[in-house]
């Protein structure tokens, strides 16, 4: 017991402390590298393309240049592995600390905790100082301090010294023994590395890649490098737009999930502001240059365009404020936020016909046009468009729910009632229950094929009930000039590819293109 206490008193606690700190940072680097290496097709694209701050232009360039991005991914993964291994073992510690500090500096300025750090993952209330800053500061100590702790650097140094005393004299035997013990202490990092490696390996076998690491877990998705070509475009008035337009429902949380009550909340939980912007940037990279949104989302889109310099065209749906009697309130708000195209919201278009107030829509369209805006008109029920046409109220384009009804949750035709889409949801499966949005497909197609106004089809997948390949083809063959589709980030590339293939192989379209 006395010997044990004496050994504790004689222990070099300063050196032990430095060793533990260096090994901890080394393991952090090493495991981040291992995690990224184990994820199939891991890429830093999303991380770089969503960067904010004073150097965001550099990071965006790195993300959008394929050859550079490939090099960045390679050096990022193997840089983490080499720096982490060197720090953990205490081998070339000063060089590893310098490289680690530089790498952390690049991470820090990708999402700096100052200014409008829009995309930062919040881990508390931060300003200037975050965990990356602290870790880089600690590494700087290892750059400038002589003390590095136990490790292979000191072991090699002791080996060199030992060569001069390869045959110790009686006087130097004690020094030689001490030197050998010191050398063995510096090899202690090796079994620790082995132990941590085995533990991490077993953890990976049981759970897969650690979801708490900084590596992004990838859903099975196509990458931007798998795009099949350029997404075709059309024109409405002076606006050139991609044939595939990004819908706003998934962003706004309007899931139309039938009786699955939790799904709207799930949508909102997944589509954080950071994720929305990541999705928008990916969509633009894939050739989608237009989004159609509900009015509540217009400020978010204005913020996105301001922060990223995006040129994406924003179609903003607007509704009259019947409570105050100001039918132009949302029109003015959308214009003030920089929306590019205005469109009367579909449910209000329907209700104004149902309630015999078509003049409200006519006045709203006139207001849009008088301010130089392209004026669109949406609807869920084809009866609305037929009525407006008979009254001579013709928009610059129509936006109509457009899908077939050959899917399980569609209720029988004989039970469908005009204007029921925005009405009560029945518990009777044979009646409307947020399940069908193009109530009368045949009448809708008939109207579309005789109108000379561009048509934008939406809900072409019946809110997820129809496969994209089927829904896209049906909508375009039956006269849509554009389709508007809500997409999660992991669906974007696949949907763009399906749209490209669909437009390339259309066989039964009879209507000429009006957009």
Gap between the Cα atoms of 387 and 200, Å rounded: 67
Contact between 290 and 246 under an 8 Å Cβ cutoff? The reply is: yes
> 290: how many CB neighbours lie within 10 A of its CB?
25
DSSP lists the bridge partners of residue 485 as 246
What tokens does 385 get?
Answer: 């468009």
How do the domains of the chain map onto residue ranges? 2-151+188-207, 243-504
Contacts of residue 332, defined as CB under 8 A and 6 or more positions apart, other chains included, come to none
Q: How many CA atoms lie within 13 A of 395 on its CB side?
A: 33
Burial class (CB in 10 A: 0-12, 13-18, 19+), 50: buried
pLDDT, tens digit only, all 515 positions of the chain: 444 445 545 557 788 888 889 889 999 999 899 888 887 778 888 788 777 778 878 888 888 888 898 999 999 999 999 999 999 888 898 999 999 999 999 988 888 887 545 444 445 556 788 888 999 999 998 888 877 777 777 767 766 666 555 555 544 454 544 555 555 565 666 676 667 666 666 666 665 554 444 434 444 556 677 889 999 999 999 999 999 999 988 777 788 888 888 888 888 888 888 888 889 988 998 999 999 999 999 999 998 888 778 899 999 999 999 999 999 999 999 999 999 999 999 999 999 999 999 999 999 999 999 999 999 999 999 999 999 999 999 999 999 999 999 999 999 999 999 999 988 899 999 999 999 999 999 999 999 999 999 999 999 999 999 999 999 999 999 999 999 999 999 999 999 999 999 999 999 999 999 98
Give the rounded distance of the alpha carbon of 459 from its chain centre: 22
- The CATH class given to the 243-504 domain equals alpha beta
Q: What is the spatial distance between Cα 277 and Cα 249, in angstroms, rounded to a whole number?
A: 15
Residue 220 CB-density burial (10 A; 0-12 exposed, 13-18 middle, 19+ buried): exposed
279 CB-side CA count, 13 A: 23
Question: Alpha-carbon distance 282 to 288, whole Å?
Answer: 9
Closest to 159 in 3D by CA, of 194, 191, 184: 184
């Amino acid at each position: 017991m006395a010997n044990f206490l004496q050994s504790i008193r004689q222990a070099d606690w300063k050196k032990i402390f430095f060793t533990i700190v260096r090994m901890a940072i080394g393991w952090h680097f090493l495991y981040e590298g291992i995690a990224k290496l184990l994820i199939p097709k891991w890429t830093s694209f999303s991380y770089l393309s969503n960067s904010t701050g004073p150097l965001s232009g550099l990071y965006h360039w790195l993300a959008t240049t394929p050859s550079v991005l490939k090099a960045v991914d390679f050096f990022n993964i193997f840089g983490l592995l080499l720096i982490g291994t060197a720090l953990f073992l205490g081998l070339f510690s000063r060089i590893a600390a310098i490289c680690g500090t530089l790498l952390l500096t690049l991470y820090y300025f990708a999402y700096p905790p100052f200014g409008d750090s829009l995309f930062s993952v919040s881990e508390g209330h931060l300003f200037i100082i975050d965990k990356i800053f602290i870790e880089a500061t600690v590494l700087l100590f290892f750059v400038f301090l002589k003390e590095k702790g136990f490790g292979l650097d000191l072991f090699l140094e002791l080996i060199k010294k030992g060569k001069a005393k390869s045959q110790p004299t009686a006087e130097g035997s004690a020094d030689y023994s001490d030197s050998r013990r010191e050398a063995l202490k510096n090899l202690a990092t090796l079994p620790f590395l082995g132990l941590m490696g085995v533990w991490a390996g077993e953890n990976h076998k049981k759970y897969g890649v650690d979801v708490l690491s900084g590596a992004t877990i990838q859903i099975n998705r196509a990458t931007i490098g798998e795009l099949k070509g350029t997404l075709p475009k059309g024109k409405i008035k002076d606006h050139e737009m991609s044939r595939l337009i990004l819908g706003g429902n998934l962003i706004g949380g309007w899931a139309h999930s039938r009786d699955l009550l939790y799904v709207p909340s799930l949508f909102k939980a997944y589509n954080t502001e950071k994720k929305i912007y990541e999705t928008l940037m990916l969509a633009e990279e894939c050739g989608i240059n237009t989004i159609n949104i509900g009015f509540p989302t217009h400020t978010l889109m204005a913020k996105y365009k301001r922060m990223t310099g995006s040129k994406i065209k924003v179609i903003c749906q607007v509704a009259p404020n019947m409570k105050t009697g100001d039918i132009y309130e949302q029109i003015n708000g959308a214009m003030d936020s920089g929306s590019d195209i205005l469109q009367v919201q579909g449910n209000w278009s329907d209700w104004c016909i149902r309630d015999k107030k078509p003049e409200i829509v006519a006045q709203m369209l006139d207001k849009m046009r008088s301010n130089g805006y392209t004026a669109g008109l949406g609807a869920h029920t084809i009866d609305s468009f037929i009525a407006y046409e008979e009254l001579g109220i013709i928009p610059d384009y129509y936006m109509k729910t457009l899908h077939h009804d050959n899917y399980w949750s569609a209720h029988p035709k004989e039970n469908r009632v005009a204007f029921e889409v925005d009405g009560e949801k029945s518990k009777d499966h044979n009646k409307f229950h947020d399940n069908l949005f193009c109530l009368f497909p045949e009448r809708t197609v008939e109207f579309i094929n005789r109108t000379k106004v561009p048509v934008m089809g939406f809900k072409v997948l019946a809110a997820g009930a129809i496969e994209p390949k089927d829904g896209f083809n049906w909508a375009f063959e039956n006269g849509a000039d554009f389709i508007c589709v809500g997409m999660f980030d992991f669906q974007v590339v696949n949907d763009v590819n399906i749209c490209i293939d669909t437009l390339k192989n259309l066989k039964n379209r009879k209507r000429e293109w009006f957009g």
